[in-house]
Chains A and B, each alone.
Chain A
Amino acid sequence: MKYVVDRLVYLIIVLLIAISGVFVLVNKMPGDPAYGLAVSIAQQRNMEMERALEIAHKLMGIDPHEPLIVRYGRFISNLLKGNFGYSSFYQTSVNEIIAKALPWTLFVISLATLVSFLVGIYLGSFAAQKRGTIIDLVISGIASIIQAIPPFVLAVLILFIFAVRLRVIPLGGAYPVDMEPSFSLSFILKIIHHALGPMFATAIPQMAAWALAMRGNTSQIMEEDYIRFAQARGLKDSVIANKYIKNNAMLPLIASLAISIGYMLGGHTLVESIFNYPGIGFYFGKAIAVRDFGLLTGLFSLIVIGVIVATFIAEIVYALIDPRVKLK
């Protein structure tokens, strides 16, 4: 219980620091959120930039002279009420935007996490068991290369190979435009089919990372005394691998799972734009492009809160499943 309370206090402190950091970073970004709109007004209407900027501020309801501390106070008090802020570009609450886009992103991220984790640890433990063989060399080598490829580069490759050349996955979107959303099997299949591209682009580098981590952990555990003792007792290799090695090697990875979700969310932003996939990434890109500080702060806060809370949950779960943590 004390462990949980300690973690909870720590969580609140970290959250406050991270959220404040996000706010300051976003609001200290150079540029004026009304600049982009002002440029298009000035170009279209043959108008001087100064006047166009004044009009753009009014249109977007922005007061460029409002002190930062006042904005920060409003931001924190809104956050405490579960309000992620207001988008000056969309003229709507960030919560409304999140509610529309987050399900798509979560769907792909969940799928990517599941696939990458399961396949990654399986490959990693398999490589460790075949240490020193050609199989180990191939798995480790390929994983090392793939891990270094940024998801958006992989997304471009997948797009051009599987969507353009082989035509086995759709080019983009979440489902065909002529289809009405429903709970029919054909619609669900279409949704999964459309998610394959962004899912693999996000999952493959992560899968490689899990494989390498699992291989490292497994190799380490295989040197432990209790493994030697088990071998000395004459236990079968398959029993040792399944009962003694894999579960122990997997434990530290469960704690990393939450962090990997955050990492995937970050990389997924660009992947979504390459696959024209609806989700948080689209709004992230838009928010950066139009300098929508309200939306940007809200989305960043959501991700930061998500990752910190997920890490907290992972730590609690880890404590429950690892007796060594309980003893500490």
Chain B
Amino acid sequence: MSNRVKRLIAVLVLGIFFIGLMGISLGASSTSSAGELRLATDWPYPFHGNPFGAGAVGGAWWFVYEPFAYYIPQSDEYIPRLAESWKIEKGKVTVTLRKNAKFSDGKPFTAKDVINSVNFIQAMWQWPYEIENVTAPNDYTVVFTLSKDAPQSFVHTILTDAAIPALAPYHVYSKWANLAKEVAELGKKIFAISSSGKTPDAQLKSTYDKKADDLRKQVNAFSPFKTLKRMPVIGSFEPTKITQSEMVLTANKYHWLYPKMKINRITFRRWSSNEFVWASLISGEIYAAHPNMPKDVVEQLTILNPSLKVKTTTDLSEIALVFNYQKPLFKDVNLRKAIAYVLDKSKVRDVAVWQASTCSPYAHGILKSMESKWISKDTLSKLTKYATNAKMAEEVLKKAGYKKVGTTWQQPNGQPVAFTLSVYGPHSDWVLAAREVVQQLNNFGFKVEMKLIPDGMRDQVMKSGDYEAAIEFGVTWQGYPHPYNGYMRLYEADLYNITKFPSKDKYSTPWGKFSPYDLTEQLRDVAQDKKKSIDVVQKLAYITNEYLPIIPLFEKVLPIYYSDKKVTGWPAKDDPIWSLAPGGIERVYNLLITTGKLAPKK
């Protein structure tokens, strides 16, 4: 090697070392400004600022858009945001808009913006057709007329979905307002015809397709960030600087709660990997995040950064063992009950997601965290408890004609109790749960094998019924935190479509014979009436617990890590506000900022 090359290597290595050392003086971490909150999320890049474009606005969503109200599941209360008040009548919701709400460019927020937003989302997303029309008696009142098929629960969507009030401000999207209105009307017409079981006219359909495609192309290509050099928002923060790695939001000084706000800037780091988020939390580069972490990492985290606190809140969903009712083996409720007794759900939880909450001992279809709010003590006393009890499982099986030959249980027809347990491969926590379930069932004397569903194939496999038993989401309340949501999934919608549990059959209860399907329909119609809802829920809970369409394993939780080193005012661990996190944790931060609770540490 020539001396010149040697010198080059030396210079190169020294240069890099020098820059590394200089990094200490340059400051390895960027300095935070007072009044800043640092978080982690994901967003589309290049950033366009168009909610209808690819990737929408990413994690900035709850800071740039406001719903009419926030709903806190734990305290069962609505907190008004863009609405001052609302009135719910049969098939109609009247919302009185906040008069001092303005967009970040100073333009006032009026009924015109709501009407335009609804037209846009119906035209672009073919949703929500439950809204038949929106009228404005004056600038600050909107009346939503609901379609006759709209469930009562849809009122909750109107009030709490941030897409409805001001996704498409009229002054920003006026260019396409008429076309959006036209497409929305045509879409609703076609949807109504299809819903009544008829086939829409081909001419009508082709007119709709042509206009809808035209609108979609034009709107998708629109970038307020490029065209207007900004993104006018109704929310508390406006995105002002975006790179591929960071997104900076600046406080909207026209927001009606701006005078209360003590945080004036939000810096998002891209959630590029869990490792990056862990490192950022430990080093104090971000002040709050909700990554899943192994137990040992959490222990290290609190040692390395004592200012970090952790709060777990329900994720409003549970993981369950589900059965394919097309397979004769699972039609016997006794076998399902035996499985429920065999499984040590706490152990499954510990192995799969150590921070999750156990669902034990009931399987009533109500999330464990919401049990006390929806099921009376009297009903609970009527329900079978499925605490881990192998003896009880044996008793149930023997009574039903099963017998144990050697180490294997046999069905009354002499066939062994053998089946496969399918699980979606990319969900590592599900795979761990499945492995533990298989082991426990095999130890008891069933012949169970685990089968992995390849990446991207979950929907296809489950919907085609190409499975016997599986690990899946059980009841989930995301989107609408109400028992109706869970029972609808179980007896009418997604879960029913893959299990085919005979939900229209009638089942005995202490109150008579009912079909869970009919009860779910009833619950839909009384969803906004808590007292009537509770009445229906008791029957549904009884049927679900005693006839076991699924066996819940554990309730998912959202672990939230937050530091009070740079910002203070985090709520107490038992504060109901945390329950606002599932489906949009930024709502919690936004509520804390706009009420002046979160403030920079002095």
Question: Is B22 part of the binding interface, using a Cβ–Cβ cutoff of 8 Å?
Answer: yes
**Nearest chain A residue, comparing its CB with the CB of B128:** A45
CA distance A205 to B46 in the complex (A): 33
CA distance A242 to B125 in the complex (A): 70
Say whether A174 contacts B276, CB under 8 Å: no
Say whether B54 contacts A89, CB under 8 Å: yes
What residues on A are CB-neighbors of B16 within 8 Å?
A: 115, 192, 196
Question: Is B334 part of the binding interface, using a Cβ–Cβ cutoff of 8 Å?
Answer: no
Question: Is B76 part of the binding interface, using a Cβ–Cβ cutoff of 8 Å?
Answer: no
What residues on A are CB-neighbors of B454 within 8 Å?
A: 30
Contact with A along B152-192 (1 / 0, CB 8 A): 01000100010000000000000000000000000000000
Say whether B269 contacts A193, CB under 8 Å: no
Say whether B479 contacts A173, CB under 8 Å: no
Question: Given contacts A171-B28, A172-B269, A189-B19, are A164 and B12 in contact (CB under 8 A)?
Answer: no
What residues on B are CB-neighbors of A193 within 8 Å?
A: 19-20, 22-23, 26
Within 8 A of B (CB), among A185-217: 189-190, 192-193, 196
Question: Given contacts A46-B480, A189-B22, are A272 and B272 in contact (CB under 8 A)?
Answer: yes
Among B24, B54, B124, chain A packs the most CB atoms within 10 A around the CB of B54
| A115 partner, pick from B12, B246, B480, beta carbons under 8 A | B12
Contact with B along A316-328 (1 / 0, CB 8 A): 0000000000000
**Nearest-CB distance from B2 to chain A (Å)?**
7
CA distance A294 to B272 in the complex (A): 21
Question: Is B485 part of the binding interface, using a Cβ–Cβ cutoff of 8 Å?
Answer: yes
Say whether A278 contacts B244, CB under 8 Å: yes
Say whether A46 contacts B157, CB under 8 Å: yes
What residues on B are CB-neighbors of A275 within 8 Å?
A: 272, 276
Say whether B272 contacts A276, CB under 8 Å: yes
Contact with B along A36-79 (1 / 0, CB 8 A): 00000111111111010101001100000000000000000000
What residues on A are CB-neighbors of B460 within 8 Å?
A: 30
CA distance A226 to B215 in the complex (A): 77
Say whether B28 contacts A118, CB under 8 Å: no
**Nearest chain B residue, comparing its CB with the CB of A40:** B56
What residues on A are CB-neighbors of B370 within 8 Å?
A: none
Contact with A along B200-240 (1 / 0, CB 8 A): 00000000000010001000110000000000000000000
Say whether B279 contacts A171, CB under 8 Å: yes
Say whether B276 contacts A159, CB under 8 Å: yes
What residues on B are CB-neighbors of A268 within 8 Å?
A: none
Say whether A276 contacts B216, CB under 8 Å: no
Within 8 A of A (CB), among B262-313: 267, 269-270, 272-273, 275-276, 279-280, 282-283, 285, 304
Interface of A: prevailing SS? helix
**Nearest-CB distance from B426 to chain A (Å)?**
10
Interface size on A, residues (CB 8 A): 69
Say whether B279 contacts A167, CB under 8 Å: no
What residues on A are CB-neighbors of B416 within 8 Å?
A: none
Question: Given contacts A91-B53, A172-B269, are A159 and B157 in contact (CB under 8 A)?
Answer: no
Within 8 A of B (CB), among A248-304: 270, 272-278, 282, 285, 291
Question: Is B379 part of the binding interface, using a Cβ–Cβ cutoff of 8 Å?
Answer: no
Say whether B269 contacts A276, CB under 8 Å: yes
| B24 partner, pick from A43, A90, A167, beta carbons under 8 A | A167
Interface size on B, residues (CB 8 A): 72
What residues on B are CB-neighbors of A312 within 8 Å?
A: none
Say whether A196 contacts B279, CB under 8 Å: no
Say whether B457 contacts A30, CB under 8 Å: yes
| A192 partner, pick from B6, B19, B28, beta carbons under 8 A | B19
Question: Is B30 part of the binding interface, using a Cβ–Cβ cutoff of 8 Å?
Answer: yes
What residues on A are CB-neighbors of B497 within 8 Å?
A: 48-49
What residues on B are CB-neighbors of A278 within 8 Å?
A: 45, 243-245
| A277 partner, pick from B23, B245, B476, beta carbons under 8 A | B245
What residues on B are CB-neighbors of A159 within 8 Å?
A: 275-276, 279
Question: Is B512 part of the binding interface, using a Cβ–Cβ cutoff of 8 Å?
Answer: no
What residues on A are CB-neighbors of B480 within 8 Å?
A: 46
Say whether A89 contacts B157, CB under 8 Å: no
| B456 partner, pick from A30, A92, A160, A164, beta carbons under 8 A | A30
Within 8 A of B (CB), among A203-252: 241-242, 246
| A196 partner, pick from B20, B54, B212, B270, beta carbons under 8 A | B20
What residues on A are CB-neighbors of B30 within 8 Å?
A: 170, 176-178
Question: Is A136 part of the binding interface, using a Cβ–Cβ cutoff of 8 Å?
Answer: no
Say whether B245 contacts A189, CB under 8 Å: no
Say whether A174 contacts B245, CB under 8 Å: yes
Question: Given contacts A164-B279, A171-B28, are A119 and B9 in contact (CB under 8 A)?
Answer: yes
Contacts A170-B29, A196-B19 known; list 9 others, CB within 8 Å: A30-B456, A32-B456, A43-B583, A49-B497, A51-B126, A164-B304, A174-B243, A242-B1, A278-B45
Ranked nearest first, the 4 interchain pairs of A and B with the lowest CB-CB distance are: A31-B456, A278-B244, A173-B245, A177-B246
Could you list some 7 contacts between A and B, CB below 8 A? A30-B456, A41-B125, A44-B583, A49-B497, A160-B279, A176-B30, A242-B2
